[in-house]
Amino acid sequence: MTMRIAVAGATGNIGTRTAAALEATGHEVVRISRSLGVDLRSGEGLDAALAGVAAVVDATSVESTDRAEVVDYFGSTTRNLLAAEGRAGVGHHVLLSIAGITRVAGNAHYAGKREQERLVEQGRVPWTIVPATQFHDFAATVTGWTEQDGVATLAPLLVQPIAPADVADILAEIATGAPQGRYRDIAGPEPQDLVDMARRTNDARGRSVTLVPTWSSLFGPEMAGNALLPGDNARIAPTTFEQWLAEQR
Ligand SMILES: NC(=O)c1ccc[n+]([C@@H]2O[C@H](COP(=O)([O-])OP(=O)(O)OC[C@H]3O[C@@H](n4cnc5c(N)ncnc54)[C@H](OP(=O)(O)O)[C@@H]3O)[C@@H](O)[C@H]2O)c1
């Protein structure tokens, strides 16, 4: 059955791929982002966008590292989105979240994601929360945040990264099914060290960057150990980091 599904954050890394995955399986996609004229923070364009929509995937994000700002962003956008879904009679809210966020108290982005999860869980729209591990391009993203004059700092986090395309396929599958509450963590097939991932990504992309491993930059020791690894019964997606890397060359 063809469904009309809205993807919030449809111009982003995961949103773009989720919209494409849904369309590839014959569904109708409503793309939501500020650059497309719909702002979850102000609510502009939101009611019109959700007309006739059966399910919504929330893959929006914010880059700030200011805790209050991030919590306010995820809080206000989620409240507005859920309220509009209620008015439109949307039957399923799918939230892309992050594995392990309850284990790491200090990270500002995680505080925002916990607020987002809380609002979804307490909301009236039936929901599925999908906690994903870091994406295969996370190391490149993080070095991009700190890189200056050819030097980037990052923590040697132990992660089990997942391919963005695999995340999108899983979100598309879940959005077209019944609400499931808290879903299993989704992760890639192998653990990796974030510094090693950054080095291999830069090599593959022909970029020369000096990497400085540290716990004193964006991520502290509270994210060390097994904090970011997926839970026991995780759903393991197929694409390895090495396979993803081969596409970066
Ligand atoms: N990076 C990771 O390793 C990782 C791992 C697990 C989970 N996640 C989660 O995955 C989610 C998606 O991340 P991503 O990297 O795909 O995000 P992204 O590439 O930064 O894309 C963010 C999207 O949100 C839209 N957006 C931002 N503010 C908006 C607003 N006020 N109204 C409407 N649209 C808005 C942006 O479009 P406009 O700018 O046009 O508005 C864009 O389409 C995030 O919630 C993140 O926490 C990330």
Residue 71: its pLDDT value, please? 98
- Closest residue by Cα to atom 23, ligand 1, is 9
Q: Domain of residue 100: give its range.
A: 4-246
Residue owning tokens 């791929």: 17
pLDDT at 114: 98
Pocket-testing residue among 14, 57, 160, ligand 1, by greatest number of atoms within 8 A of Cβ: 14
Which atom of ligand 1 is found nearest the CA of 15?
A: 16
- The pLDDT profile of the chain, 249 residues, written as one tens digit per residue, is 899 999 999 999 999 999 999 999 999 999 999 999 999 999 999 999 999 999 999 999 999 999 999 999 999 999 999 999 999 999 999 999 999 999 999 899 999 999 999 999 999 999 999 999 999 999 999 999 999 999 999 999 999 999 999 999 999 999 999 999 999 999 999 999 999 999 999 999 999 999 999 999 999 999 999 999 999 999 999 999 999 999 987
CB-based contacts of 145-152 (< 8 A; 24+ apart in sequence): 145/218, 146/217, 146/218, 147/209, 150/208, 150/209, 150/210, 151/209, 151/210, 151/212, 152/198, 152/209, 152/210, 152/211, 152/212
How wide is the angle at C-alpha 135 spanned by C-alphas 122 and 231, nearest 5°?
55
pLDDT at site 9: 98
The residues that bridge with 12 in the sheet, in sequence order, are none
User: Per the structure block, which two tokens stand in for 140?
Assistant: 């490149």
For 153, list phi and psi in degrees, rounded to 5: -105, 140
d(CA 83, CA 43): 10
Cα–Cα distances in Å, from 148 out to 65, 151, 152, 193, 247? 18, 5, 6, 22, 26
User: Which pLDDT score, from 0 to 100, does residue 1 have?
Assistant: 86
For residue 16 and ligand 1, the question of a CB distance below 6 A is answered with no
Distance 8 CA to ligand 1 centre (A): 8
**Ligand 1 pocket residue status of 59, Cβ below 6 Å:** yes
Cβ-based neighbour number of residue 159 at 10 Å: 28
CATH number, domain of 239, equals 3.40.50.720
Query: Domain total for the chain?
Result: 1
pLDDT for the residue 228: 98
Predicted local distance difference test score (pLDDT) of residue 142: 95
